[in-house]
Amino acid sequence: MVSSEEIRLKLALIREGVDSEEGVKIALEMQRPLEWVDGSCIIDFDSVPVEDLAIIIKNLFEEGGYRLEEGTPLNGIYGRGHASLRLLVGYFAFRYRFKVEIYSEDEITFIKIYKALTGIKEGIICGWQGLALYNKEFRRIIDTFKYLGPNYEGYMVCDTCGGYYKLQLGESPEDFTDKCECGGNLKYIEDADFEEK
């Protein structure tokens, strides 16, 4: 049976003129493992350091117009919009709040995200017509997080000058040209202790 996620991906790829079967296969391989538990989504970020992931997630929320309203980037609530404005102008004035928890278990980092407005409060603040939009925004955020690139923990190193750059979350060796500023060749070295050596 084809999931609704695969159908959405296929339709998007068809609109872009890309082979939908191959595109879905590639997208599913890129997707980080996730699990839905009681209305929350838990995404596996492998060995990404908790603090690094918290900074990246905070930046992604801020780029989307959210601000940290309560707690810390590791365990806090990001919000966008105002409840009072919603009551004045109707459901077009959105009020979204999402609870984010970033933690590590057995050397694996996870992010748990869920809606911070639920039940009657969600209905009053979002408006019954706005609930579908709230759910759509939640799916958009999950889609963004689950496709954050793989975690390359290595370095791009120049074979001439010895200069190096540590890859950040979401960056891959393919993102860099094969030449350093000095003209030397850049090579990817997967070595967590490279800087100490």
Note the pLDDT tens digit of each residue in 138-148: 988 998 888 77
| Ordered structural domains, the chain, with CATH | 31-146 (3.30.530), 155-189 (no CATH)
Q: State the pLDDT at residue 1.
A: 43
Residue 47 CA to its chain's centroid (Å)? 15
Beta strand pairing call for 96-105 and 155-158? unpaired
Provide the β-strand partners of residue 79: 67, 97
Q: State the pLDDT at residue 89.
A: 43
The ranges of the chain with pLDDT < 70 are 1-16, 18-31, 82-94, 118-130, 149-152, 169-170, 177, 191-197
